[in-house]
């Protein structure tokens, strides 16, 4: 059977402040890239959305973009063909993409190994066919389908790195998460599988029900409990505080996270949903010092951590939380708007083909 030579895809053109989703352009019958010796041709079956993808369309993303970039930071699909020197995969294998295609190990991405980030400095996953270096792919976990696998590259790995990147989470540790986005829900699942105590914040009673279904031990409504950091510390084992905190809010929530953290605990800064601006009541230099904690910025994770995460997912039969609204590839702008309007619980997923 002959290999496909064209693909339908989305591309970002005219990305600038104010452009919004108008920067997304649907393109038909675009050339499939040539297959080099270490390349793998993948028939993409699913991708998932991240806040980063929206920021890129809005023209406020601070990193380098290639012209007409295909968006999409995560994906899963089936191997259609492999180059002559490929040893890791064969035709018919089910695979997931890595976000940083060259970030194989180490505590954080460097300038040298972060030049190929899917959906930004390299073409992403919102297309029917894509060519990837064999080292930028990993096997799809055996217990997951394509829709589930497409959520792992960014949200899943960010959560795994936040919990285990510097020091492995232990049974009996306490984890505090914020909201019901993808990273927070993955962190809950990984923490519970480890035997940790999990405290979660939310503003929605309906979403609190989902957190209870997952097995969260304590739920705090931060609208009813504005000092939720102190409350989380009170609820933690022996009132000592939380060993891991998943900080997705940014400037408006970091002070509460510092109230909740245990001595020696880690605050993983993985998002900035409350904006970029510095708050007037921002933490002082002395606060992390007096809390004796580590405040760590997280940019996804490396391939070795991804492999560890896949092992844990298979061993514990963990299934990512996916929003019921699954969008076809042709409706990608609707999926973006759905995520932007914060109507989702868990990951928003796009089905491809």
pLDDT in tens, 24-41: 999 999 999 999 999 999
- What topology is assigned to 158-297 in CATH? Rossmann fold (3.40.50)
CA separation for the pair 195, 298 (Å, rounded) = 23
pLDDT band (50, 70, 90) for residue 112: confident
Name the nearest CA neighbour of 262 among 224, 286, 293.
Answer: 293
CATH 3.30.540.10 correct for 6-153+301-351:
no
Average pLDDT, the chain: 93
Structure tokens at 314: 């298979």
pLDDT for residue 272:
60
Q: Is the pLDDT score of 180 beyond 70?
A: yes
Quote the pTM value: 0.94
Q: Are 101 and 40 in contact (CB under 8 A)?
A: no
pLDDT by residue (tens digit) across 254-292?
Answer: 999 999 999 999 999 997 655 555 556 677 767 777 788
Q: Is the pLDDT score of 14 beyond 90?
A: no
pLDDT for residue 60:
80
Question: Could you give the residue range(s) of every CATH 3.90.180.10 domain in the chain?
Answer: 6-153+301-351
pLDDT band (50, 70, 90) for residue 63: confident
Question: Could you give the residue range(s) of every CATH 3.40.50.720 domain in the chain?
Answer: 158-297
- Mean pLDDT value across residues 47-72: 90
């Amino acid at each position: 059977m002959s290999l496909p030579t064209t693909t339908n895809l989305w591309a970002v053109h005219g990305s600038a402040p104010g452009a919004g989703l108008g920067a997304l352009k649907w393109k038909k019958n675009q050339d499939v890239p040539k297959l080099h010796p270490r390349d793998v041709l993948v028939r993409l079956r699913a991708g998932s959305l991240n806040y980063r993808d929206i920021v890129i369309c809005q023209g406020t993303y601070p990193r380098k973009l290639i012209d007409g970039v295909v968006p999409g930071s995560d994906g899963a699909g089936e191997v259609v063909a492999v180059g002559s020197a490929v040893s890791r995969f064969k035709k018919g294998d089910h695979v997931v993409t890595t976000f940083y295609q060259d970030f194989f190990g180490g505590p954080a991405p460097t300038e040298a190994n972060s030049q190929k980030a899917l959906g930004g400095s390299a073409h992403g996953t919102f297309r029917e066919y894509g060519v990837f270096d064999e080292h930028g792919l990993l096997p799809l976990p055996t217990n997951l389908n394509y829709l589930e696998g497409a959520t792992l590259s960014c949200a899943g790995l960010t959560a795994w790195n936040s919990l285990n990147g510097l020091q492995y989470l232990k049974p009996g540790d306490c984890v505090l998460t914020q909201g019901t986005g993808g990273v927070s829900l993955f962190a809950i699942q990984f923490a519970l599988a480890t035997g940790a105590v999990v405290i979660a914040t939310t503003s929605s009673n309906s979403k609190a029900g989902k957190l209870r279904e997952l097995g969260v031990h304590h739920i705090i409504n931060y609208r009813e409990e504005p000092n939720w950091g102190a409350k989380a510390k009170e609820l933690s084992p022996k009132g000592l505080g939380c060993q891991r905190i998943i900080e997705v809010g940014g400037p408006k929530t970091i002070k509460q996270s510092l109230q909740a953290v245990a001595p020696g605990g880690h605050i993983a800064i993985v998002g900035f949903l409350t904006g970029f601006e510095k708050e007037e009541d921002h933490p002082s230099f002395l606060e992390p010092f007096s809390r004796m904690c580590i405040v760590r910025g997280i940019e996804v994770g490396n391939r070795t951590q991804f492999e560890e995460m896949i092992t844990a997912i298979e061993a514990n039969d963990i299934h990512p939380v996916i929003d019921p609204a699954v969008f076809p590839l042709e409706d990608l702008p609707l999926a973006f708007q759905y995520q932007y309007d914060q109507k989702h619980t868990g990951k928003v997923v796009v089905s491809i083909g």
